[in-house]
Chains A and B, each alone.
Chain A
Amino acid sequence: MKVERELMRGAGPVAVLKLLSGGAKYGYELVDALATQTQGILSMGQSTLYPMLYNLEAQGLIIGKWSAAPSGRDRKYYSLTPQGQKRLARDSAQWQAVVQALGNLGVLRSATRLIPQWEAS
Chain B
Amino acid sequence: MSQPSQNIQPVDYLIVPSRRGIARLGERNERQIQEFVEEIVRRTRLWPSEKNEVRVELGDHFDDGADAGHTAEQLLQSFGSPKLAAMLIRKAKRRGRPWMWHFWRRSLLACLGLACLVFMSFSLVYIRLHSAVGKTSDDLITIWDQSTKKIPESDRAWPDYRAALMALQGYKAPPSYLTVVKIATNGPRNSDWPGTLVFLDKNAKAIDLFVQGTKKPRLGYLYRDYGNNAWLVGFGYRSASEMYPVGMTSTSIMLPQIQELNFLHSLLRAAQVRALEDGKLAEFKRLWQAGARLASQLSHEEGSLIYQGTGKHYALSSLNTLRRLVRDYPKLLSDAELQAWRQEIQSDRWKSTVSLADNYRQSVQEFLQVGYTQRANGDGRLTFAGCRFLREHLVMVSEKDAIHWPQVLAEKYAAGLAGANGTNPNMFGRRSAVDKTFEEAAALRWSTTLANRKEMQQEFDLALKLLDEDCALPIREKLQQGSGSSPYLREMQRISGSPALFRRYWPVLLLLPRYDGTSRIFAPPHEVLVMHCEATLATIALEQFRRRTDQWPAKLEELVPQDLPKVPTDIYTGKPLVYRLVNGAPSLYSVFEDLKDDNGTAVPKINNTMGLQIGDLNFIPVED
Contacts and interface: CB of A to CB of B under 8 A. Distances in A.
Interface of A: 23-29, 31-33, 36, 45-48, 50-55, 57-59, 65-71, 73-77
Contact of A51 (B6, B53, B85): B85
Interface in B1-36: 1-11, 15-16, 18, 20
A45 B85 CA distance: 9
A20 to B, nearest CB: 10
B361 interface: no
B6 A70 contact: yes
Contacts of B60: 26-28, 73-76
B89 A32 contact: no
Interface stretch (B90-98, B287-295, B471-479): B90-98
Contacts of A69: 3, 5, 8
A67 B8 contact: yes
Interface of B: 1-11, 15-16, 18, 20, 53-54, 56-58, 60-61, 63-65, 68, 78-82, 84-85, 88-89, 91-93, 95-96
B10 A48 contact: no
B15 A66 contact: yes
A73 to B, nearest CB: 5
A51 B8 contact: no
Contacts of B64: 26-29
Given A66-B11, A66-B15, A74-B18, 7 more contacts: A26-B64, A45-B80, A46-B80, A47-B85, A52-B92, A54-B96, A76-B56
A28 B4 CA distance: 12
A34 to B, nearest CB: 11
Given A51-B89, A68-B9, A73-B60, A46 B78 contact: yes
Contacts of A24: 5, 8
Q: Give the residue among B16, B61, B63 with the most A Cβ atoms within 10 A.
A: B61
A54 B16 CA distance: 19
Contact of B1 (A32, A46, A51, A73): A32
A27 B57 contact: yes
The 4 A-B pairs of least Cβ separation, nearest first, read: A58-B96, A47-B80, A51-B88, A54-B92
Contact of B3 (A48, A50, A52, A70): A70
A74 B16 CA distance: 8
B384 to A, nearest CB: 53
A111 B212 CA distance: 122
A45 B5 contact: no
Contacts of B7: 70
Contact of B95 (A23, A25, A58, A70): A58
B8 A50 contact: no
A37 to B, nearest CB: 12
B18 A73 contact: yes
A42 to B, nearest CB: 14
Nearest to B84: A47
24 contacts: A23-B5, A23-B6, A24-B8, A25-B5, A26-B5, A26-B60, A27-B57, A27-B61, A28-B65, A32-B1, A33-B2, A45-B78, A45-B79, A47-B81, A48-B84, A50-B58, A51-B92, A54-B93, A54-B95, A54-B96, A55-B95, A58-B93, A75-B60, A76-B56
Contacts of B93: 54, 58
Contacts of A23: 5-6
Contact of B2 (A32, A45, A51, A57): A32
Contacts of A67: 8-11
A77 B89 contact: no
A70 B78 contact: no
A87 to B, nearest CB: 16
A69 B3 CA distance: 8
